[in-house]
Structure 1
Amino acid sequence: MATQTTQGIRVTVEPTYQPAYSNPLQSRFIFAYQVIIENLGTATVQLLRRHWFIWDADGSMQEVEGEGVIGQQPILPPNGRHEYASWCDLTTGIGKMNGTYLMVDVEKNEQFYAKIPAFVLIAPLRLN
């Protein structure tokens, strides 16, 4: 699990290898990850966009950018939280992810970036 707080927005990510959906013989390693976004600040904020970097152990990188998360642009009042799950695939069984969320303070209409902490993706069979 990895956690990082930026400007009062705490982002926690917990990845899990998905052996039922993976096929190591075909270099396909699937990881799910659970994300919790918490507003520790005093202003109401909204998540507008996401920007992920997904690194594979062979040095390749995928960049994923778009509106919201899982089709939503959640609004988080002070002490509010939003939780969602998603997934990614790797070809090597070892990698990492990190990124940012573009947030806006809805009262001041000021945008800022909340960092998504870097976290490691490791298929357990790669540890042997």
Structure 2
Amino acid sequence: MVSQITNGIKVSVKANYIGSSVFNNYKVYNFTYRITIDNNSNDTAQLVTRHWEILDALNPVKYVDGVGVIGKKPIIKPGESYSYESYCSLFSPFGAMLGFYSMINLATATLFEVTIPRFKLYAPFAIN
């Protein structure tokens, strides 16, 4: 598990390899990741957008931007946390993801970015 704190918001990530499959006649390697966002600040914050950089050992970096996470824009009060699980497929057994969330401090209406720490995606069979 990796974690990082930005502006009192802690983002922790744990990734797992869940097997391979075939997509458009190519073998892909599938991973899930669980993210927990802890609000250790003094103000309530809302996650509004996400930005991902997906690194696949066999392909150029892929950028993904979107509203919220898994269809939600969670509001996280001080001392509370929010967790969700998602997935990623790569064309190689090695890669990584990193990015940031754009969040709004609801007390001040200030928009700020929270770093999603870089985490590795790897199929255990590929490690020697």
TM-score, normalised to structure 1, is 0.94
**Cα distance, 1:59 vs. partner?**
4.5
Structure 2 distance, partners of 1:107, 1:6, is: 17
Give the corresponding residue for 1:36.
Answer: 36
The one-letter amino acid paired with 1:76 is I
Cα displacement string for residues 83-124 of structure 1 (whole angstroms, at most 9, x for unaligned residues): 000000000110000000001001100010000000011111
**Cα distance, 1:27 vs. partner?**
2.7
Give the corresponding residue for 2:21.
Answer: 23
Q: Does 1:98 align with 2:108?
A: no
The one-letter amino acid paired with 1:47 is L
Give the corresponding residue for 2:74.
Answer: 74
Q: Does 1:119 align with 2:122?
A: no
Give the corresponding residue for 2:56.
Answer: 56
Percent of pairs with identical residues: 38
Cα displacement string for residues 4-53 of structure 1 (whole angstroms, at most 9, x for unaligned residues): 0000000000000002xx13894300000000001000001000000011
Structure 1 distance, partners of 2:59, 2:117, is: 19
Judging by fraction of residues, say which structure has more strand: 2
SS at structure 2 position matched to 1:28: strand
SS at structure 2 position matched to 1:23: strand
Structure 1 distance, partners of 2:102, 2:53, is: 14
Aligned length: 126
Structure 2 distance, partners of 1:26, 1:75, is: 39
Structure 2: runs of 5+ lacking an equivalent: none
SS at structure 1 position matched to 2:126: helix
Higher mean alpha-carbon deviation, 53-62 vs 39-48, is at 53-62
Q: CA RMSD in A?
A: 1.4
Structure 1 distance, partners of 2:42, 2:111, is: 15
**Cα distance, 1:80 vs. partner?**
1.2
